[in-house]
Structure 1
């Protein structure tokens, strides 16, 4: 596994979090990366205002880093939430309020991938009602992403860590991708293939890649167990990335893993190997 085999970006919501948000792009650049990704950085605010957005844009530009992936508002991450778009009431309204904010910011920094976490099931609410709400919100998000010249990403999480999240395998996430593309008529919804989450669910990762490579819009990796850096666990990540290459995936691979015991800056020794 090397930078010549795949293009890696650093997830600044898991790595370099010992620094304030605006210091993280420069830290990633100092570690040798020119691409980064982020969960929505303001978990309590779908619209943090022009100053906060301008400051983040400036931090990215000053560091010479490109934002290649951004989540829409998803609630508290890390924390109990797993998205907002399928939750009736205030959280769904927060998601809608964030759609244009996130898409406009993505367009302003050249970010071409926007991730929309589906949200947990809610006690007392018919799952069909949540799914209908989700489809409506995802079609809205797809239209905003299209205007920003970005793809809309749909991600599967794992049931062990997210037991109330309904998309816990590749097939469920890809089915949502297909429904959104059909409903929107835009064909810009894609599957976010997170190796760690799929492995936690016991998936045959090579088979998932073979079946769904044509709809993969972004890839994220971490090792298993522990969600550490590549080489800290048992996943054959070099082989999986090579399989992705053979299957035709040429996009970014997000490093969405926890920092090593030596800290974030010491988490990338595996690249030299």
Structure 2
């Protein structure tokens, strides 16, 4: 198998950032890709003006690329925040206000994966209180995702870079997935397996794949250390993606790495041009 057999998309919130947001979809298309994903682009606004939503939608459509993944509002990202849904007060309210806005935008582009970052622990707040609030908000998000035929993703981050984020292992994130599915009965909450974050946590990646491939709704990659392109670190990413495919995963693999000191267009030299357009899954995509 190998890289040429994967379904890659480009995360436009970490790649092509030297360009204005509305120019990035076309840049991804010019680099040969036909699918993209995004963190919530309006970090200061969970409910942007319709004109802003329409402009981004038009840029994606005009570029001829497909939006395959979108984050819910997560605060300042990149930056100190790691989500909003477990934070009491204003940030949780901003997340709730964003749920329908994000789901509506995703639906308008046929996007069927919505990622909900959990949020950092807050000093002076009982973790159990935060977890109860998180479950309440994740249930809302899962129901909104279900209405548009999408999955809700729950992601583990890495402890060295996100020390206040409580989901810093695959089992911790999957446990939240299970709680959401139990609460909604919908079964549309899934694990977002980011191989970079899991590697930074020192997890056995082959073991994670064996245990959780069947419960994974999306995969993201970057090499480690450094969070650069494949080949810049020590992770056997090609082999790991082969293991995922052998375990039955046929979904998207998001390229969520830093381009380093080269222009973003050169950050894909590791991937043959023929492997960049999204291929059809081997069987109907059930996600």
Q: Same fold (TM over 0.5)?
A: yes
Q: Secondary structure at the match of 1:4?
A: helix
Q: Secondary structure at the match of 2:152?
A: strand
Q: Gaps (5+ residues) in structure 1?
A: none
How far apart, in 2, do the equivalents of 1:24 and 1:4 lie?
23
Q: Which residue of 1 aligns with 2:248?
A: 248
**Residues 62-211 of structure 1: matches in 2 within 5 Å?**
62-211=62-211
Report deviation, 1:5.
1.2
Report deviation, 1:251.
0.5
1:223 paired to 2:223: yes
Q: Secondary structure at the match of 1:42?
A: coil
Moved over 2 A (4+): 1-4
Q: Gaps (5+ residues) in structure 2?
A: 274-287
Report deviation, 1:230.
0.3
Is the CA contact 1:152–1:190 (under 8 Å) kept in the aligned structure 2? yes
Q: Which residue of 1 aligns with 2:10?
A: 10
Is the CA contact 2:2–2:242 (under 8 Å) kept in the aligned structure 1? no
How far apart, in 2, do the equivalents of 1:251 and 1:212 lie?
14
Report deviation, 1:2.
5.3
Is the CA contact 1:223–1:232 (under 8 Å) kept in the aligned structure 2? yes
How far apart, in 2, do the equivalents of 1:245 and 1:2 lie?
10
How far apart, in 1, do the equivalents of 2:24 and 2:37 lie?
11
Q: Secondary structure at the match of 1:269?
A: coil
How far apart, in 2, do the equivalents of 1:237 and 1:48 lie?
37
Is the CA contact 1:2–1:272 (under 8 Å) kept in the aligned structure 2? no
How far apart, in 1, do the equivalents of 2:226 and 2:170 lie?
21
How far apart, in 1, do the equivalents of 2:192 and 2:19 lie?
27
Report deviation, 1:247.
0.4
How far apart, in 2, do the equivalents of 1:14 and 1:141 lie?
24
CA RMSD of aligned residues (A): 1.0
Q: What is the TM-score of this pair, normalised by structure 2?
A: 0.94
Report deviation, 1:214.
1.0
Q: Which residue of 2 aligns with 1:232?
A: 232
How far apart, in 2, do the equivalents of 1:197 and 1:269 lie?
23
Report deviation, 1:260.
3.5
How far apart, in 1, do the equivalents of 2:34 and 2:195 lie?
22
How far apart, in 1, do the equivalents of 2:2 and 2:65 lie?
19
Is the CA contact 1:156–1:192 (under 8 Å) kept in the aligned structure 2? yes
CA deviations over 1:224-264 (Å, ceiling 9, x no partner)? 11000000110000000000000000011000000132210
Q: Which residue of 1 aligns with 2:278?
A: none
Is the CA contact 1:2–1:271 (under 8 Å) kept in the aligned structure 2? no
Is the CA contact 1:206–1:243 (under 8 Å) kept in the aligned structure 2? yes
Q: Secondary structure at the match of 2:270?
A: helix
